[in-house]
Amino acid sequence: MVRGHPAHFALATKHENPELDLVVIEHGRYTIVEKWFREAARIAYATDPRR
Protein backbone atom coordinates (compact mmCIF):
# COMPACT_ATOMS: atom_id res chain seq x y z
CA MET A 1 0.00 0.00 0.00
CA VAL A 2 2.76 2.47 0.83
CA ARG A 3 5.10 1.79 -2.07
CA GLY A 4 2.25 1.09 -4.47
CA HIS A 5 1.52 4.81 -4.76
CA PRO A 6 4.18 7.50 -5.19
CA ALA A 7 2.46 9.91 -2.79
CA HIS A 8 1.90 7.41 0.07
CA PHE A 9 4.20 7.49 3.07
CA ALA A 10 4.30 5.78 6.48
CA LEU A 11 4.58 8.11 9.46
CA ALA A 12 4.58 7.62 13.20
CA THR A 13 1.00 7.89 14.44
CA LYS A 14 -0.02 11.47 15.28
CA HIS A 15 2.87 12.94 13.24
CA GLU A 16 0.82 13.73 10.16
CA ASN A 17 0.36 17.33 9.05
CA PRO A 18 -3.29 17.97 8.10
CA GLU A 19 -2.19 20.78 5.78
CA LEU A 20 -0.10 18.36 3.68
CA ASP A 21 -1.23 14.83 4.54
CA LEU A 22 -4.45 12.94 3.95
CA VAL A 23 -4.74 9.94 6.30
CA VAL A 24 -5.28 6.78 4.24
CA ILE A 25 -5.25 4.26 7.11
CA GLU A 26 -4.13 4.20 10.74
CA HIS A 27 -2.39 1.28 12.40
CA GLY A 28 -1.26 1.02 15.99
CA ARG A 29 2.19 2.60 15.70
CA TYR A 30 2.10 4.09 12.23
CA THR A 31 -0.22 5.91 9.86
CA ILE A 32 -0.21 5.78 6.08
CA VAL A 33 -0.76 9.19 4.54
CA GLU A 34 -1.04 10.59 1.06
CA LYS A 35 0.76 13.81 0.26
CA TRP A 36 -2.05 15.74 -1.37
CA PHE A 37 -1.07 19.40 -1.12
CA ARG A 38 0.20 20.88 -4.39
CA GLU A 39 3.94 21.18 -3.82
CA ALA A 40 4.24 18.12 -1.54
CA ALA A 41 2.37 15.95 -4.06
CA ARG A 42 4.40 17.31 -6.98
CA ILE A 43 7.69 16.49 -5.22
CA ALA A 44 6.48 13.00 -4.25
CA TYR A 45 5.57 12.17 -7.85
CA ALA A 46 8.66 13.81 -9.36
CA THR A 47 11.10 11.93 -7.11
CA ASP A 48 9.45 8.50 -7.34
CA PRO A 49 12.26 6.21 -8.56
CA ARG A 50 9.73 3.85 -10.17
CA ARG A 51 8.57 6.45 -12.68
Predicted pLDDT at 39: 86
Predicted pLDDT at 48: 87
pLDDT in tens, 1-51: 777 888 999 999 999 999 889 999 999 999 999 988 888 888 888 998 887
Predicted pLDDT at 4: 82
Predicted pLDDT at 36: 86
Q: Which has the closest alpha carbon to 44: 3, 6, 4?
A: 6
pTM exceeds 0.85, yes or no: no
Strand segments, DSSP code E, in the chain are 8-12, 21-26, 30-35
Domain ranges of the chain: 8-46
